[in-house]
Amino acid sequence: MLKTILLLSGLAALHAAEIPEATLKRAVTRALAPLEKQSPVFVKTGGCNSCHNQDLPVVAQTLARQRGIPTGADIVLFDESDATQRIFEHGAVVSAGSLGYTMIREAARKRPADSETDANVSFLLTGQLGNGRWDSRSNRQPLTTGDHFATAFGIFIVQNYARGVQREQAPAHVSRAVAWLRENAPVTNQDSAFQVLGLVWGKASDEAVKRASATLQSRQRDDGGWAQLSSMTSDAYATGQALYALALSGTPATHPAYRRGLDYLLKTQAKDGTWYVKARSKPVQPYFDSGFPYGHDQWISAAATSWAAMSITMAVDAPNQIKAGLRR
């Protein structure tokens, strides 16, 4: 974790002042409103907690509340009391990545370790590959793809929920995962963002985090945004994800790259508070309308809106709070 207090130049402070805090808070409140409204519909119709319509929105809402941003009703969640049993029944498809969305949500809600999280950690410790990574086991673009993504989430879960004997085993597993992240170059934007997040969560050296952050910054486009792939244009999913990772790495919101990313998000936010992103994954379940806009593109757009809200929230000052956000 970076501990150095970054001093701000007069020019950076001037840039930051151009976006009033009230504007940032208003953008987040507007983004959360449609996410909050759709959550009971998704749970009732889909019968599950999704990474895009429940998990990321909970993180976004919780983070906003930590920073004093007005929010609406709690994101509605599905009862997952049988989740541990499903891990053992469907181990071929459950991975560090799929568990990661669940557990980053639960960490945001300050869930303590229990028998279910013990099972999750055990599943990960025994499933880590010899080279230190966790594999994603999924081709659902972009939400659950990439071994950088899965490895970072594996680190997050082990760091936050290992206890007892698992806690004694955790450092060796995390060290191997951090080494893999450090040594394997990212390909996609999600790879790059989660390389940064994994190194932060794994408490890698400042130098390693700085190098990964510089790589992520280098992917920024001329319009201020980031793109999921080199062949695509900028969108809110990639931009929000990149900015959130940079924020947790210690990059201040006054940094020119962060400032340009904020400008991009504020300019592209729709009147209803959302951001539109076109889906590019093959459906894994029949389509239904959760009440979030954009039809068949609504689920990735919900995830994008969550990432965007999280990254804007990180630019809002948090009195008496050190680095709000999920970084152990």
For residue 296, name the pLDDT band (cuts at 50, 70, 90).
very high
pLDDT score, position 218: 98
Burial environment of residue 135 by CB neighbours within 10 A (0 to 12, 13 to 18, 19 or more): middle
Question: Is 15:45 a contact under the CB 8 Å cutoff?
Answer: no
Highest mean pLDDT (candidates 2-6, 86-90, 267-271): 267-271
Closest CA to 136 of 189, 185, 94: 94
pLDDT score, position 165: 96
pLDDT score, position 197: 98
Q: What percent of the chain has pLDDT over 90?
A: 73
Residues in the chain: 328
pLDDT digits (tens, 9 = 90+) for 218-244: 999 999 999 999 999 999 999 999 999
pLDDT digits (tens, 9 = 90+) for 260-286: 999 999 999 999 999 999 999 877 778
Question: Is 209:250 a contact under the CB 8 Å cutoff?
Answer: yes
Q: What residues does each domain of the chain span? A: 10-313
Which residue has tokens 């013990």?
118
pLDDT digits (tens, 9 = 90+) for 184-216: 999 999 999 999 999 999 999 999 999 999 999
pLDDT digits (tens, 9 = 90+) for 92-122: 457 898 899 999 999 999 999 999 999 999 9
Say what angle helices 21-46 and 56-66 make with each other, to 10 degrees. Answer: 150
Q: Which two tokens stand for residue 279?
A: 């889906």
pLDDT score, position 10: 32
Protein fold of 10-313: Glycosyltransferase (1.50.10)
Q: Is the pTM of this model over 0.85?
A: yes
